[in-house]
Structure formats: structure tokens, C-alpha cells
Amino acid sequence: MEKTFEQRLHDDLHRYLLGMKVVDERLPECPDVEGRWKQLIEAYLPDGIREFAAYPTVSLGWMMFIGMAIAYMWDKDWMRYNADPQLYELLRDARGYDAMDDHIMEDVLRLDENGRRKTQDIVAECASRTDNMLRHEHIQPGTKEAFQAYTQCLHQLYLMGMAMQLSAMGYHMTPLNPAN
């Protein structure tokens, strides 16, 4: 059975992040963070779509940063953050859309200079890989299929950002040992 575009993208990003040693073989499941996806994507789409034509890797990569931020919020004070219906706006409006990456890395995740550089490089590569795969699908721009593929890209980047951050915070998924 042929894999869907979203599954191929998932597999490619997972392999890359695994090779960078920033996620585990088994990706974490975090229903609370995953459950915020629908609300976040609805809030993000007007900004993301507007930016995609001129800055596709920014439009894509910012969603990975958002996944990291939401995972961090889940770990720190989920009761507080989950009650806020405007988490995307909270992240965007702190410094504006263009500087959302800096805000998340510096103010939310509190990464040092080396951590920011490494995270920026990884997100940039993931966004570039995603854009490349999307363009090689040869989907007609402006169609329902193009919109679906774009949202699938954002979804996978969000999940990978979440996985990266959970791993960085010490949440590791280990294979179950059937002998135990």
C-alpha cells in the first residue's frame, strides 16, 4: 500500500530528527498538546497562508516552534495555559509574527545562544525539507488539495516540534519489553 503524502513527510522528518538525536525512535504521545491542534491551526492559517508565497519556510517552520512552545506550556502549567483559548495569539503578539521564533526560543523555552542556534538550524532544515516535499507533489496552487497538503505539513511540523521539546525536557519513549 502506497504511503500518503503526510505519512511520507512524517517519516522523513522523523528520520532527520532521529539522526540529529533530538527525538527518540518512538515518538511521544501527548493528547493534551495534540488536542490543541485544531484551535491553533484555525488561528494560525490567516498568518501562515499570507506568508507562504514569499516566505514558505517561515510559514512552515513557525508551526514547529509553536509545537515546541505548547509542549513547554504543557509541562510547566497546563491548567493555566489550557484555559487560554488564544495560545497562538499569545505567542504571536508578544513580538509579532516575524519574531515569533525569537520569542519562543528566548522567552518561552529560555534557550542559550548555542541552543537557539541549534534549534534554529534544525527547524530551518525541517521547514526546507517540508517545502521541498510539498513542491515535489506537483499540486496545483490555490486548490483544495494544495490547502490540505499545506495543513498536513503544518500538522507534522507541529507534532515534530512537540516531540523535540518533550525529548529536550526529558520525556523519552522507550520500547515496551514484552518479557517484563
pLDDT in tens, 34-81: 999 999 999 999 999 999 999 999 999 999 999 999 999 999 999 999
- Write down the pTM of the prediction: 0.94
**Closest-CA residue to 34 (of 171, 161, 122):** 161
Query: Which pLDDT value is given to residue 176?
Result: 58
C-alpha cell at position 50: 499570507
Residue 71: closest CA among 174, 157, 175: 157
Burial 56-67 (b: 16+ CB within 10 A, else e): bbbbbbbbbbbb
Which pLDDT tens digit goes with each residue over 95-130? 999 999 999 999 999 999 999 999 999 999 999 999
pLDDT band at 15 (very low <50, low <70, confident <90, very high): very high
Using a 10 angstrom Cβ sphere, with 0-12 exposed, 13-18 middle and 19 or more buried, the burial of residue 44 is: buried
pLDDT value at residue 60: 98
